Amino acid sequence: MGVKKFFGVNIVVKDLDAAAKKYQGVTGIKPEWQGPEKFAFPGMKGASFTLSDGVMINLITSSNPETSVSKFLENKGEGVFLISLRMEDLVKDMEALTAAGVKLTSPTPLTYEGGKVNFGHPKTLHGVQIEFIQPDK
């Protein structure tokens, strides 16, 4: 399997502007605002903080009540939504993940403006949702 590195963490927030201000104060880094086009699912938006080692803290929210982010916020409140692992070859790695017992949310990678992504269901990953991501760059 081709896990290249820990890529980041996604944190669901109610008020993106307030959370971004808080995290800017904590990290000393200005947020990079992420519009809906940056996400694989409609209604999403976020703010990203890229640390010096390239690991990202992503604050995310959704205006679409059907997204898993909205449902998470409604059921659990704000908090860590998933961790993200950068993959070498997502299509090939999906086969290995499935063989290892990981239930993926899609039979094929989802595409977004920056690459490909798929998600491992938390019930097959000891309560943690993992985003498997292969950025174009």
With a cut of 80, say whether residue 137 has pLDDT above it: no
Query: Where does the pLDDT of residue 24 fall: very low under 50, low under 70, confident under 90, or very high at 90 and above?
Result: very high
With a cut of 80, say whether residue 1 has pLDDT above it: no
With a cut of 80, say whether residue 20 has pLDDT above it: yes
Query: Where does the pLDDT of residue 37 fall: very low under 50, low under 70, confident under 90, or very high at 90 and above?
Result: confident
Buried b (16+ CB within 10 A) or exposed e, 104-127: beeeebeebebbbbbbbeeebbee
Domains, in order of start, for the chain: 3-135 (3.10.180.10)
